[in-house]
Amino acid sequence: MGDEETLREMAIVGNLSNEQAITAYKTAVLARTLDTKIINAQRQGIIGFHVPAQGQEMIQIATAMLADKEDLIFTYYRDLALYLQRGVPLSLIFDQMLGNSNDFQKGRQMPDHFSFKEFNFSTVQSPVGAHLPLTVGAAYSMRYTKKNGIVITTFGDGATSTSDFHAALTMASVYNLNVLFICENNGWAISLPASKQTKAEIYKKGAAYGIPGKRVDGNDLIGSLSGLQEAFDYVRSGKGPYLVEAVTYRIGPHSTSDDPKKYRVDEITDGSEKDPIKRLENLLLKMGVVDSNFVMTTKAQAKESVDKEMEERMNIPPTDPLSIFDDVYEKPTWIQEEERRDLNVSD
Amino acid sequence: MGDEETLREMAIVGNLSNEQAITAYKTAVLARTLDTKIINAQRQGIIGFHVPAQGQEMIQIATAMLADKEDLIFTYYRDLALYLQRGVPLSLIFDQMLGNSNDFQKGRQMPDHFSFKEFNFSTVQSPVGAHLPLTVGAAYSMRYTKKNGIVITTFGDGATSTSDFHAALTMASVYNLNVLFICENNGWAISLPASKQTKAEIYKKGAAYGIPGKRVDGNDLIGSLSGLQEAFDYVRSGKGPYLVEAVTYRIGPHSTSDDPKKYRVDEITDGSEKDPIKRLENLLLKMGVVDSNFVMTTKAQAKESVDKEMEERMNIPPTDPLSIFDDVYEKPTWIQEEERRDLNVSD
Amino acid sequence: MSQINMVQSLNRSLDRLMAADERVIIMGEDVGRDGGVFRVTDNLLNKYGTERVIDTPLNELAIIGMASGMAMYGLKPIAEIQFQDYIFPAFDQIVNNIAKVRYRTGGRFEVPLIIRTPYGGGVRGGLYHSQSGEAYFAHTAGLIVVTPSNPYDASGLLVSAYKSKDPVIFLEPKRLYRAAKSEVPDEQFEVEIGKAAKLKEGDDVSIITYGSMVPVVMSAVEKNQVNADVIDLRTILPMDITAVLQTAKKTGRVVIVHEAPRTLGVGAEISALIAERAIDSLFAPIVRVTGYDIPFPYSHEEFYIPDEKRIMNAINKVLTY
Amino acid sequence: MSQINMVQSLNRSLDRLMAADERVIIMGEDVGRDGGVFRVTDNLLNKYGTERVIDTPLNELAIIGMASGMAMYGLKPIAEIQFQDYIFPAFDQIVNNIAKVRYRTGGRFEVPLIIRTPYGGGVRGGLYHSQSGEAYFAHTAGLIVVTPSNPYDASGLLVSAYKSKDPVIFLEPKRLYRAAKSEVPDEQFEVEIGKAAKLKEGDDVSIITYGSMVPVVMSAVEKNQVNADVIDLRTILPMDITAVLQTAKKTGRVVIVHEAPRTLGVGAEISALIAERAIDSLFAPIVRVTGYDIPFPYSHEEFYIPDEKRIMNAINKVLTY
Ligand SMILES: Cc1ncc(C[n+]2csc(CCOP(=O)(O)OP(=O)(O)O)c2C)c(N)n1
Ligand SMILES: Cc1ncc(C[n+]2csc(CCOP(=O)(O)OP(=O)(O)O)c2C)c(N)n1
Ligand SMILES: [Mg+2]
Ligand SMILES: [Mg+2]
């Protein structure tokens, strides 16, 4: 999509103010800066692991922009920009990434497996797709208890092959539940290109369940917003579930443990022509909404706050080893109590 | 479909000879007679259990008619007519239903869980849909080892909701395997009507995988044959998998343990207007292919051979109890050997 | 008080729970109009409607996954898996999700659901309608696993499961569904999770069992006038370690009886706990009488399931050791 | 002979098997171009092509289900599950199908496949990249479950698994993948399934262990000069009962060490077998040193996995009993 077209699209969305566009840009830059910081911290052994979200920021930001506070969001492990746009502070993100004693989850999970309940996020788990059937139950509960809001969930292209995806779409459709399924198709499931994941177009997979679908340009803020708007409207109006395929691009490796050179040799690029942040930046500059000075300041500020925040959070002590026996059950059974004593003694 | 239409359809199929139509009719009558016999035997405690195939005979017969010897068929638990049309003798069927010492499977499985390897059938298991991923592997193997033939599999409407269905269609499509998926949509999964199983039309479910589909009138021989022919041609030509939805009708209960009055009150009929055997019978009579005398003789003969066969097979002794320790592994481990001795002693 | 069987007891208990608490939702294959293939949920659809008694499509992963989302967000789902043999498609959701939600969120979420499922043989169901899979669940921290052996415990354990904030695998011995009636109060009452029942006091030998094997054990010891301590575990995870060790120390002779296969069956854990904590009290080997390490056969299931003879052989072995 | 690590050993063994037998097919997520996330299948795609080294979509049920169809119809699939934690979506296919095909067909079909999967902690993988789930499989008759503890056994067990006509769950302790090198023959050789290895002869105490814990046990007994009999089971199902009983009877003091949680872990079965068959030889309780009955935590995994200190505590306990 060229810039001219994008401008026309913007008119279609209509309600995107300059302020909103600028906020989105700032979030995107912050997310990218944070991501880079974490990758470096991982290399230095400060943070254990990371799944970079670079390249996928814009669809995540658009999702957060259109979601209401009362909407419940089930993210997956690669949604850094989504949290930031929805207001999750850097401090909480670092606490989880570091697994320190401030971490809501008590350091129990790998980095990127967040659970920001206060911001109406659910909980992230590693098994791909396994959160999807939960979204359906949550939507059932919300309808049953007459709560406002819809359920939104994100997942990768690989997740569409899982049994959980099939289960979730089956149930969402049969019970006509308000779930907005957003597939962040970044073209890869680790080393498997999306073209080998499935021969169908992902947004058409709803056809097997009577669920409508739509493909949106996930690398473009305006494209994402206008595409998503229709989907949000559909689900909010109670018509049932909807499947969005956001075409996006994984700029980096699958994770800090991954070496994409093994499988991505023939098409490695820096991703810049698809880079959603560059695209928004260029658009804002071209439209005169911001100038190059603003761009520089934004980036510098992002870096400063990310650096500062991480330094601060690194001072927070780790959790007590004996706490590993908590939260297996509401109250530890005799087994956990005994094992806690065992660890305490052997320690 | 009126009879006039049916006649026209018949011209389309073209290659259905009178002899073939008569054979199909005879098989259908035999299957129905056998089914009724088994239900009675179950009531008398002679056979442990049964899932009647009444109402679904015609799509099963059509499938067997179009299948080549070298085609490998994975049936489900409700395919009595399919076995008969493919040449499985009554004796073998009774041996399995009775679980006697002649049963190929050594009495290990419930009735209706056949494994007629000699007739190029695979093995039936109870978990709904669980055979479907196997079909894909078998098709892969056949292509890899350059064997002729395709893989055909049958399953119910309920099975389309299982994870195994999703898994099978995913793999069949991605590796472009020669699998013909035939859903015998009999309108029910025990007490759940197909309309509550899914909101999509079953033959369109392939869309999620890029697999073409087609609905056929499974209660009509000509309709089934002409519809299936296209699907067989597609798969045989190596174009990949294909999904057929055969609309049919479960005349009886789900199984001998089921009481459909609990859930089917509002629409209980004797199914006669949908009864595929009556329809074929009427057509053959109308066309003068057979006369009413023939019909009577066919039914009488079917009854005679079914009665005679069962009486004979009932004389075959049961398996040796100690054989329950065989076939867990190629050779029993020390555990099975020890447990066999234990049973022998306590006996 | 009424004289009722286990199906009736469960049905009434479900009814009372639904009447008292709107958050209780029943779901599963054929649980609605059909009332469940064993009729445990009979008539509940009529009383509580399709919003609260949900006939689901044929996908156990979907049932359990959806139920866990409901439980995380305020409801109290009671999901039925038609036969325990069909729970395995949902195994990932159970061990990787449900059992770990509280833990992985640092206690910020919980999944207080109940998964009810009939298990065990004796109904001529062959490989796929007869399994006793309790050990698969009992190896999973985060789950509670219970199994009643009589109508009273069925009702009482169900209420405790309802009150539990942790996920409960509720295993119903299908052979006992209609096998016997017993006195069950008409009001709600509890049978505490984690507490075994002493069914019989005796000094010569301890028999530790649960679920489907309880009546067989009781019949064996009564007919043969064995002076046995008989323990019905009722809860498999967390096991009542006090009851197990107390009886082992008291008699010094232990026989464990269950229907599931021996290798890594629940009996292995019972035996190991005793071998770890009460070895000096033992006068004889700890003997397990169990289903065999083979798939559950259609023919000869009567030989598969431990019978009184096999139980008595084991008892005599430890008594005469 | 070469000095190689476990990844190299497995890779070479796979390579030799593929070179010798066209029926061998490798399949799984990222096993092709990527060579597997742990590089066990590195370079095999280049050598054998996409027909024989199959990068699959993200569905473990599909991988295992398809592999089982391949195995039933003449091929020898070696399927990789990227982490053992992700095998549970395929659990139904494994316990209800693969483990029961031979049985339910009266021996007319078999499913000679291998499921390779890395297991265990120590790589900072948290709840979902660290589990040791061997007990879930070892409770299932019809399966063979093996786990090597060193590069030599890895290669040899893989060849035996290849020759097996029964389905083999091949568990690879990921922490040991590159932890140590050892001498491994360059030609094909076998390590027999069902046979444990005696790693050290000693008289005072028996330590029975396997897989990931073997080096920790060996280091503990060597550093502390414990006069221990050390058994590396290598095969978990069917277990080498002769080796287990022989050592228990010899020393009369048994410590069992594994990384999986204690409750109904494999140690329970080992303990129960001894308590059933060698109780008179015992001088001390049978003690288990295991992972804890909690989900595998991300932080403090070093406390979760049994260390030398915990092992020595147990050894001293039984020695001084
Ligand atoms: C059930 C399961 N199988 C395998 C894995 C290992 N794994 C982690 S991420 C991943 C690829 C996921 O791809 P996709 O869904 O496209 O999301 P992306 O990582 O590309 O954002 C795989 C195979 C897993 N986490 N869960
Ligand atoms: C995985 C699994 N879940 C539940 C069952 C119990 N069950 C047996 S048949 C059946 C309904 C199947 O319906 P359908 O697929 O339409 O086939 P039909 O019986 O109508 O021919 C159910 C729920 C089962 N066998 N397997
Ligand atoms: Mg992706
Ligand atoms: Mg049906």
Question: What digits encode the pLDDT tens for the residues C23-68?
Answer: 999 999 999 999 999 999 999 999 999 999 999 999 999 999 999 9
D288 and C271: CB-CB below 8 Å? no
Interface test with D, best of A76, A77, A161 (most D CBs within 10 A): A161
More confident position, D144 or B4: D144
Written as six digits, the tokens of B210 are 């890029």
Q: How far is CA C177 from CA A48, B256, C172, C174, D72, in A?
A: 52, 19, 8, 5, 38
Arithmetic mean of pLDDT, C215-220: 98
Pocket flag, ligand 1, residue A128 (CB < 6 Å)? yes
The Cα of B303 is separated from the nearest Cα of chain D by a number of Å equal to 29
Pocket flag, ligand 2, residue C180 (CB < 6 Å)? no
Arithmetic mean of pLDDT, B79-91: 98
- Say if CB A83 and CB A115 are below 8 A apart: no
Closest Cβ–Cβ partner in C89, C101, C238 for A123: C101
Question: What's the gap in Å between B343 CA and the centre of ligand 2?
Answer: 34
Q: How far is CA A151 from CA A133, A244, B43, in A?
A: 12, 13, 51
D139 and C138: CB-CB below 8 Å? no
Please report the domains of chain D, with CATH numbers, ordered by start residue.
2-184 (3.40.50.970), 197-319 (3.40.50.920)
Written as six digits, the tokens of C182 are 């017993």
C294 and B328: CB-CB below 8 Å? yes
Q: Give the number of the atom of ligand 2 that is nearest the alpha carbon of residue B184.
A: 21
Which pairing describes strands D76-80 and D53-55: parallel, antiparallel, or unpaired? unpaired
pLDDT of residue B1: 39
D127 touches chain A (CB under 8 A): yes
List residues of A whose CB lies inside 8 A of any B CB. Answer: 161, 163, 165-167, 170, 173-174, 196-200, 204-210
Arithmetic mean of pLDDT, A52-57: 96
Arithmetic mean of pLDDT, D270-281: 98
Please report the domains of chain B, with CATH numbers, ordered by start residue.
3-316 (3.40.50.970), 321-347 (no CATH)
Written as six digits, the tokens of B310 are 């069962």
pLDDT of residue A125: 96
Arithmetic mean of pLDDT, B170-190: 98
The Cα of A293 is separated from the nearest Cα of chain C by a number of Å equal to 42
pLDDT per residue over C80-94, tens digit each?
A: 999 999 999 999 999
Residue whose CA is at the smallest distance from ligand 2 atom 17: B156
Q: Give the number of the atom of ligand 1 that is nearest the alpha carbon of residue A51.
A: 19
Q: Residue B345: which pLDDT band, with cuts at 50, 70 and 90?
A: confident
Q: Is residue B265's pLDDT more than 90?
A: no
Ligand located closest to C57 CA: 2
- Mean pLDDT for chain A overall: 94
Bin D256: left if φ > 0, else alpha if -120 < ψ < 50, else beta.
Answer: beta
Pocket flag, ligand 2, residue B156 (CB < 6 Å)? yes
Residue whose CA is at the smallest distance from ligand 2 atom 11: B189
Question: What's the gap in Å between B281 CA and the centre of ligand 4?
Answer: 25
Closest Cβ–Cβ partner in C59, C92, C109 for A123: C109
pLDDT of residue A11: 45
Arithmetic mean of pLDDT, B114-127: 97
Q: Is residue A87's pLDDT more than 80?
A: yes
pLDDT of residue C1: 87
Arithmetic mean of pLDDT, C282-286: 98
Distance CA D100, CA D93 (A): 10
Q: Is residue A8's pLDDT more than 50?
A: no
Distance CA C264, CA D135 (A): 7
pLDDT of residue A12: 43
D129 and A319: CB-CB below 8 Å? no
A-contacting chains (≥3 CB pairs under 8 Å): B, C, D
D272 touches chain C (CB under 8 A): yes
- Say if CB A26 and CB A294 are below 8 A apart: no
Q: What is the CA radius of gyration of chain A?
A: 21
Distance CA A200, CA B210 (A): 5
- Mean pLDDT for chain B overall: 94
Arithmetic mean of pLDDT, A13-34: 91
Q: For the whole prediction, is pTM greater than 0.80?
A: yes
Written as six digits, the tokens of D254 are 């048994």
**B293 forms bridges with which residues in the sheet?**
none
Written as six digits, the tokens of B313 are 């097979």
Where are the alpha helices (H) located in chain B, listed in sequence order? Answer: 3-13, 18-43, 57-66, 80-85, 90-98, 132-144, 163-174, 194-197, 221-236, 261-264, 276-286, 292-314, 334-346
Q: Is residue B239's pLDDT more than 90?
A: yes
C-contacting chains (≥3 CB pairs under 8 Å): A, B, D
Q: Residue A6: which pLDDT band, with cuts at 50, 70 and 90?
A: low
B-contacting chains (≥3 CB pairs under 8 Å): A, C, D
Question: What's the gap in Å between A323 CA and the centre of ligand 3?
Answer: 35
The Cα of D148 is separated from the nearest Cα of chain A by a number of Å equal to 24
D258 catalytic per annotation: no
CA-based nearest residue in chain C for residue A104: C106
Distance CA A255, CA A52 (A): 6
Q: Give the number of the atom of ligand 1 that is nearest the alpha carbon of residue A189.
A: 13
Q: Name which of A156-165, A254-263, D306-315 the model is least confident about.
A: A254-263
Distance CA C121, CA C284 (A): 30
Q: How many beta carbons lie within 10 A of that of residue D245, not counting itself? A: 16
Q: Give the number of the atom of ligand 1 that is nearest the alpha carbon of residue D30.
A: 23
* % residues pLDDT > 70 (chain B): 94
Residue whose CA is at the smallest distance from ligand 1 atom 25: A127
- Say if CB B237 and CB B71 are below 8 A apart: no
- Mean pLDDT for chain D overall: 98
Bond before C238 cis per omega within 30 degrees: yes
Q: Which residue has the tokens 């770890």?
A: C276
pLDDT per residue over D256-272, tens digit each?
A: 999 999 999 999 999 99
More confident position, A339 or A274: A339
pLDDT of residue A344: 87
Residue whose CA is at the smallest distance from ligand 2 atom 8: B128
B134 and D92: CB-CB below 8 Å? no
From A271, A250, A253, A246, select the one nearest A185 (Cα to Cα): A246
pLDDT of residue A339: 97
Q: What is the CA radius of gyration of chain D?
A: 19
At B17 the three-state DSSP class reads coil
Question: What's the gap in Å between B160 CA and the centre of ligand 4?
Answer: 10
pLDDT of residue A46: 96
More confident position, B265 or A121: A121
Distance CA D241, CA D208 (A): 12
Question: What's the gap in Å between D35 CA and the centre of ligand 4?
Answer: 43
pLDDT of residue A264: 87
A334 and C241: CB-CB below 8 Å? yes
A198 and B174: CB-CB below 8 Å? yes
Which residues have C-beta within 8 Å of that of residue B250, sequence separation ≥ 6?
Answer: B54, B55, B56, B186, B187, B188
Q: Residue A200: which pLDDT band, with cuts at 50, 70 and 90?
A: very high
- Say if CB A60 and CB A145 are below 8 A apart: no
Closest Cβ–Cβ partner in D57, D86, D297 for A197: D57
Distance CA B277, CA B56 (A): 9
Distance CA A30, CA A301 (A): 9
Sheet arrangement for strand D76-80: D53-55, D24-28, D76-80, D114-119, D168-173, D144-146, D235-237
Q: Ligand 1, residues D58, D81, D91: which to mutate, most atoms within 8 A of Cβ?
A: D58
Residue whose CA is at the smallest distance from ligand 1 atom 17: A156
Pocket flag, ligand 1, residue A191 (CB < 6 Å)? no
Pocket flag, ligand 1, residue A234 (CB < 6 Å)? no
- Say if CB A122 and CB A134 are below 8 A apart: yes
Q: Ligand 1, residues A57, A79, A190, A249: which to mutate, most atoms within 8 A of Cβ?
A: A190
Written as six digits, the tokens of B139 are 């098709």
pLDDT per residue over A248-268, tens digit each?
A: 999 999 999 999 999 987 565
Q: Is residue A4's pLDDT more than 90?
A: no
Residue whose CA is at the smallest distance from ligand 2 atom 20: B189
- Say if CB C66 and CB A133 are below 8 A apart: yes
Q: Is residue B79's pLDDT more than 70?
A: yes
pLDDT of residue A347: 62
B55 touches chain C (CB under 8 A): no
Sheet arrangement for strand D228-232: D197-200, D228-232, D205-209, D254-261, D287-291
Looking at residue B242, its amino acid is Y
Helix, strand and coil content of chain B, in percent to the nearest 5, comes to 50, 10, 40
C294 and B339: CB-CB below 8 Å? yes
Distance CA D149, CA D184 (A): 13
- Say if CB A189 and CB A157 are below 8 A apart: yes
Q: Is residue B3's pLDDT more than 60?
A: no
Interface test with A, best of B136, B170, B181, B183 (most A CBs within 10 A): B170
Interface test with B, best of A209, A211, A242, A243 (most B CBs within 10 A): A209
Question: How high is the ipTM of this complex?
Answer: 0.98
Arithmetic mean of pLDDT, A8-18: 62
